[in-house]
Amino acid sequence: MLTRIDHIGIACHDLDTTVEFYRATYGFEVFHTEVNEEQGVREAMLKINDTSDGGASYLQLLEPIREDSAVAKWLAKNGEGVHHIAFGTADVDGDAAAVRDKGVRVLYDEPRRGSMGSRITFLHPKDCHGVLTELVTSAPVEAPEH
């Protein structure tokens, strides 16, 4: 069962400049940054709010690190802007299977590693009214040490 909007992915040419825009304009601060070699991106997660299911909602800013990445190709075709929407779920495997059973193409046979250790898969935009859609199971939150 999908429980929240986990994040909205925004493709950009210059991550640092885009982060500064969101910080200066809206006061959003960077919660997490990483380079995802598999996806070919450098990213920043800007936390918007916590959610009732223990997760959070973010803006994910994505800058390609190589020309053959999906985000680089998307930027070349569309320019900067909203790249995808991601829905949070406790069971990315189960929800991906359920959506597949309804005729929606799931782009990965098995979920892959996403931001902050999450497990992700994508749904084909042609099956989702033109919207690239991601399903995300967040990594477990570790209990603080005492």
> In 3D, which of 128, 111, 109 has the Cα closest to residue 120?
111
> What's the chain's length in residues?
146
CB distance 133 to 119 below 8 Å: no
Helix (H, G, I), strand (E, B) or coil at 75: helix
Question: Any idea which residues carry the catalytic annotation?
Answer: 7, 43, 60, 84, 134
> In 3D, which of 101, 98, 110 has the Cα closest to residue 38?
110
> In 3D, which of 60, 59, 24 has the Cα closest to residue 41?
60
For CA atoms 84, 89, 94, 100, the dihedral sign is: negative
Tell me the sheet residues that pair with 59.
Answer: 8, 46
